[in-house]
Amino acid sequence: MKPQLRSALYLSVGILLGALVVTGIALKKIDPKTTAVEVSPDGRPQYKWYVPVLPGSIDFSGEAVPLDRWDVKEKLDREVLVNSYLHGSQLYVLKLAGRYFPVIEERLKANGIPEDFKYVCIAESSLQQNALSPVGAASFWQFMKETGPAYGLEINDEVDERFNAQKATDAASKYFKTAYSKFGTWTAAAASYNCGMAGFQNQVDFQGASNYYDLIFPDETNRYLYRILALKFILSHPKNFGLLLDEGEEYQPLKSRTITVEKTVDNLADFARENNTTYKMLKIYNPWLRAHKLTVKAGKKYEIVLPLR
């Protein structure tokens, strides 16, 4: 038999076998006593979806959430329900957490910010370093181009430190410290990250209340803190929500070396090759580099991270 005919025959047989397997699965009768499904009269499976059980108590940064209040409990219930069934998204966040949480947690701690604020980062960007909102908020902490410099971030055509996990977390920490000093609670500081300190203060002044749980905001801010709490609850107990990630399946921190650059680099692709790596790896390890070159002004220097040899 000619090789071409043999290949065609094997392909045809493979397709036929695949079709038979799929058909067998589709027609298989499922025992509702042993699976989490109901079975219709024609034998088709109907999966069962359940309302997740809320925690008996939960806090944000050590500040208790008043779950004895029906309005608070129902708002948390909504966010736990919505977010608990985003299995693919939540598994991806758990994988990314293995890479980025060590950096975020270390910088939060160094800045005196409670660890729970890492869930604010997830609420903002789902740990996507290249996340970009329709209005221009960027990366992990979703800083706007106009506000980032006020918190110590360099942002221009060549450098955008919003994409630097360490520096962006330091910048977010500065915001949280200021907001905490202004409003007196970490809960309010976190909520204000969505509507701004001025927006939060306006509602405090108008409504005559200062407790986040006693205030009403536009819907996005109304839901914001509850989404953070839901993410904390779900991702702290992933197996309870069917999120099964075996040990070692999370993405690991990138092994790296750091070099200091004190003079202008006219071509970053040439720079990468000279340092035994590729332009692609240079950009992956340093997403804050936003152009093909890096201008270094007198007295300035940059730390560039490269793959470990």
Work out how many domains the chain is built from and give that number.
3
Contact criterion met (CB below 8 Å) for 75 and 219: no
In the prediction, which pLDDT does 38 show?
78
What amino acid is encoded at 14 in this protein? Answer: G
Q: Are residue 150 and residue 290 in the same domain, yes or no? A: no
Q: Are residue 112 and residue 139 in the same domain, yes or no? A: yes
In the prediction, which pLDDT does 14 show?
47
Residue 53 falls within a domain, yes or no? no
Closest CA to 253 of 68, 95, 113: 95
Residue 222 falls within a domain, yes or no? yes
pTM for this one?
0.85
In the prediction, which pLDDT does 13 show?
41
In the prediction, which pLDDT does 33 show?
53
Q: Are residue 77 and residue 148 in the same domain, yes or no? A: yes
CA distance 144 to 136: 6
Residue 236 falls within a domain, yes or no? yes
Question: 40: domain range?
Answer: 3-47
Q: Are residue 32 and residue 167 in the same domain, yes or no? A: no
| Residue indicated by tokens 């090789």 | 3
Residue 246 falls within a domain, yes or no? no
- Could you state, in chain order, the average pLDDT of each consecutive group of 10 residues for the chain (309 residues)? 45 44 42 65 82 95 98 98 96 98 98 98 96 95 97 98 98 98 98 98 98 97 98 96 93 96 98 98 98 97 94
Q: Are residue 106 and residue 232 in the same domain, yes or no? A: yes
Residue 247 falls within a domain, yes or no? no
Q: Are residue 36 and residue 74 in the same domain, yes or no? A: no
CATH value at residue 96 = 1.10.530.10
Contact criterion met (CB below 8 Å) for 161 and 288: yes
DSSP code for 43: S
